[in-house]
Amino acid sequence: MKHIKPRNIRLFAIISLAIIAIIVWTKYLNTDQTPTAAENSRALIGGAFELVNHKGEIVTDKDFLGKYMIVYFGYTYCPDVCPMDLQIMADSLGYLEADEVEQITPVFVTIDPDRDTKEIMAEYVAFFHKDLIGLTGTPEQIDTIKKAYKVYAAKADDTPDYLVDHTAYTYFMGKDGNLLQHFNHGEDPEAMAARMAALID
Ligand code: NI
């Protein structure tokens, strides 16, 4: 019987592993269907919702398609973070051309529907921008949009004057309802406007 040298066994193992690696690569990894990280995060933000605007009208995600949407999630009793970010949103629109502003719907969604009635929302949004739309709803409806937009919010305490801990992102959504860009708390409004202008077609 012919003796197989250990060196040949090793060579055979290396070649086998290389072939398996090539098969796995071509079959599972190197396909055009593999989404990029940007596409993944875009797909994760946004989705269907039904809410009530500050005029008392029922609106859904479909009503916002065809225009860009800049949207912030917060609550009217928020002492600092929400008013600051809503003012930044309003200021950013001020840096854009009139024809650009016309293409953007600014939206404020409450994450505190128990206190933020449509009347309170109406009073609050008017304070920031004439076009700002306030959205509220039942706790279940608000939960749905929070999940769709990956918004975290939770009551900080059980007093009547409770605060709500919440994420503070501003989302710039495309005409198709997909995320184009997110902005962090305290963003520079002029830089925000420049980014939006670059994304508007
Ligand atoms: Ni807030």
Residue 143 tokens read as 């939960």
How many Å lie between the centroid of ligand 1 and the Cα of residue 139? 17
36 has a pLDDT exceeding 70 = no
Residue range 45-60: mean pLDDT, rounded: 98
User: What pLDDT digit, counting tens, does each position of 110-162 carry?
Assistant: 999 999 999 999 999 999 999 999 999 999 999 999 999 999 999 999 999 99
Q: Report domain extents, the chain.
A: 6-33, 46-199
How many Å lie between the centroid of ligand 1 and the Cα of residue 175? 26
C-alpha closest to that of 76 among 118, 121, 119: 121
The more confident residue out of 54 and 16 is 54
Q: Are strands 179-183 and 170-173 parallel, antiparallel or unpaired?
A: antiparallel
Residue 113 tokens read as 């529907």
How many Å lie between the centroid of ligand 1 and the Cα of residue 77? 8
Helices (H) and strands (E) in the chain, counts: 7, 9
Query: Which one is the CATH code of 46-199: 3.60.10.10, 2.60.120.10, 3.40.30.10, 3.30.920.30?
Result: 3.40.30.10
Residue 195 binned pLDDT confidence (cut-offs 50, 70, 90): very high
Q: For 89, phi and psi rounded to 5 degrees? A: -60, -50
How many Å lie between the centroid of ligand 1 and the Cα of residue 157? 15
- With beta carbons less than 8 A apart as the criterion, state whether 195 and 182 touch: no
How many Å lie between the centroid of ligand 1 and the Cα of residue 71? 14
Q: In angstroms, what is the C-alpha Rg of the chain? A: 25
- With beta carbons less than 8 A apart as the criterion, state whether 162 and 155 touch: yes
Instruction: Give the span between the Cα atoms of 46 and 178, in whole angstroms.
Output: 6
Sheet containing 133-136, strands listed edge to edge, beginning at the edge strand earlier in sequence: 58-60, 50-53, 133-136, 104-110, 68-74, 170-173, 179-183
How many Å lie between the centroid of ligand 1 and the Cα of residue 70? 16
How many Å lie between the centroid of ligand 1 and the Cα of residue 88? 13
Q: Look at residue 109 and give its three-state secondary structure.
A: strand
Q: For 72, phi and psi rounded to 5 degrees? A: -130, 145
How many Å lie between the centroid of ligand 1 and the Cα of residue 185? 10
How many Å lie between the centroid of ligand 1 and the Cα of residue 189? 18
User: What pLDDT digit, counting tens, does each position of 58-107 carry?
Assistant: 999 999 999 999 999 999 999 999 999 999 999 999 999 999 999 999 99
How many Å lie between the centroid of ligand 1 and the Cα of residue 128? 15
- With beta carbons less than 8 A apart as the criterion, state whether 35 and 131 touch: no
Identity of residue 14: I
How many Å lie between the centroid of ligand 1 and the Cα of residue 177? 24
